[in-house]
Amino acid sequence: MTDGTPGAKPPLASVDELREELRRLGYFDSGLDRFVLGGDSAARPRHSAASVAARLGLIGGALFGAATLLAAVGFDRSLLAEPRDLALLASYLFVAFAAATGLAALAAGAFASALARRGGRGPSGAVARNAGLLAALPGVVYVAFWWRSHLVDAGWLPQLVALALSVPLLAALGRFGSLAAVAVLARHADGALPEVELSRRSVLPLVALALPALVAGLAAAAWFDEAAPAAPDFAVRSTGLRVRVIGVDGLERRMAQRLLDEGALPGLQALMSRGAHAALRAEPEQVPAIVWTTIATGRGPEAHGIQALGPRRLVGMRTPLLGGDEGGAFASALASATDVLRLTRKQAPTSVLRSAKTFWNVAADKGLRVGVVNWWATWPADPAAGGYIVTDRAFFRLEKGGAPDREVEPETALAPLRAVMSGLGGERPARIDHFALAAAAALRPEHGPDLEAVYLPGLDIETMQLFSGASAADLATLSDRLHTLRAAWQATDAALAAEAATLREDEVLVVVGDPGRLARQAGGPAEGLLLLVGGPARNAALPPASARDVAPTVLHLLGLPRSDEIDGRVLEAALAPEFLAAHPVRRVAAYGARPATRHRESGFDRQMLEELKALGYVQ
């Protein structure tokens, strides 16, 4: 009926005529239309919009949730090993996308209603189409940002698959918006939607639309994991050498050179005069966990899997989600939103997220004894047959006390480590370094590793505490802070000299100095320092090297081939010609996939994150 006001619309004709008009326009030709429009009996536009949005939300939650779950499995195959996490993630995604789709449908209905009030028009294909475009617009923006943060560096095949999936999904979102607009426009014309009885036969294909694709996608992902070609077999061709790698964070080349010129670093000066040295081109990432995993694997974060310092874990899930604050503005905003809603929480990086083998993994797989101390993302400790793994959580666990939880392998190494802890002194950054070196020294005689890797973060932590944040602007204490930093450099220099003094004739010392976080924040290319001393290492100044050259060079010194998957190269210029003649560089297609590790939450997770915050790694 009309309301008697000027310009009021005449009533629509019978429901049958409305049904015929909608059918003529193509809105009742599919089960989707019957499910969305046929069950709507609300008389008011607002109620009709809510009813239609709820139905569209159910469909959107199933469809878009399934597609996103497939994408998540594609980026993190370890989800396949956790059916409980997979089911929980599917539930989260269904709810999230159901709500998002419902809101998009409401927005499309409101848009159509506004047009109807302003223009005096009833249902029309043009209005519905425009409302559909409005509903699809947020989806386009989301896909664009997601593409930038996840696929911009991916190969053509992942991008093609993502394009093939995203286009029809965006088209479906637009279709949902159009249906919401039709429902609202019909009410503005004082008509009623037809009472169409829903049957299971018409609804079931809609609700289960995502199920076949989901099952097929998960099965394909599992099949590809199982059917992946085995890594080529290769043998160790013994060189008779042992290798000791010391990673020093915060060893910026220009600062080192200035102190060398002043004669303040005699230990480093002696090492450079005995062996090969080069400027080390730093990785661009600001996060030490990413940088030092790249050094250990010779591969970038997109390949090794450590892509953030604070990966998120959905409440109730054991599997951390990839990404975090370091994934760009879009990922940071999304992570912050989920934190505010208390749906996720940060977690320290772990070895579970690392998908590529480190140089010590490759060596251990071929029967060499390895010892690793304090390297980033080594918790939970890998098995160490005949060797030892002291993870990046060991110092903090031993300092705080409590029952051990895979911080050290084998657990028999805990006794000497507790003895090491009891003798530590000084400021905390220095204590962490002292612990790492003393732990290696305590375990070395018993295990006699062929390969040892020790990470020292103290210089980087000290530098950041002295010259970043509020302390950087305190000019009154500048002289004292420079004096403290100089002392930290000299302490690191003395530690390197002490390590060099314990080298045996068959050992090669590899010092990997990364410039650290402050040097990267200053802008411009940051450089570290790389040294090889002992054994076949030449006394030579080398051209700049890449941080990704460390892993293949270390493995070559042990008699292992360089994998074609590794981005770096063997630094042949650092080695004596006679050694290269006797042990030419070998190549192999791949080292094989790192065995998946089951996710298991630790009671120390929260405390570890607090420790990283206290040291300035996490904001």
Q: Name the CATH architecture for the domain at 242-310+347-614.
A: 3-Layer(aba) Sandwich (3.40)
Q: For the segment 210-231, what is each residue's pLDDT rounded down to a tens digit?
A: 445 444 544 554 444 444 455 6
pLDDT for 269 beyond 50: yes
β-strands 276-281, 527-533 pairing:
antiparallel
pLDDT for 311 beyond 90: no
Q: For the segment 580-589, what is each residue's pLDDT rounded down to a tens digit?
A: 999 999 999 9
pLDDT band at 571 (very low <50, low <70, confident <90, very high): very high
Percent of the chain with pLDDT over 70: 73
pLDDT for 267 beyond 70: yes
Least confident of 87-101, 136-150, 214-228: 214-228
- Going from the C-alpha of 211 to that of each of 65, 66, 298, the distances in angstroms are 11, 8, 39
Which conformational region is residue 179 in: left (phi greater than 0), alpha (psi within -120 to 50 degrees), or beta? alpha
- The per-residue DSSP string of 77-127 comes to GGGGG-HHHHHHHHHHHHHHHHHHHHHHHHHHHHHHHHHHHHH---S-HHH
pLDDT band at 40 (very low <50, low <70, confident <90, very high): low
The domains of the chain are located at 15-227, 242-310+347-614
Phi, psi angle pair for 223, to nearest 5°: -65, -40
Q: Do 503 and 246 form a contact (C-beta atoms < 8 A)?
A: no
Q: Do 269 and 532 form a contact (C-beta atoms < 8 A)?
A: no
Show Cβ contacts of residue 150 under 8 Å, excluding neighbours closer than 6 positions.
75
Residue 281 has what DSSP assignment?
A: E
pLDDT for 280 beyond 50: yes
The mean pLDDT value for 443-451 works out to: 88
Distance CA 525, CA 262 (A): 24
Q: Do 295 and 512 form a contact (C-beta atoms < 8 A)?
A: yes
At residue 22, the pLDDT reads 60
Tokens of 83: 């059916």
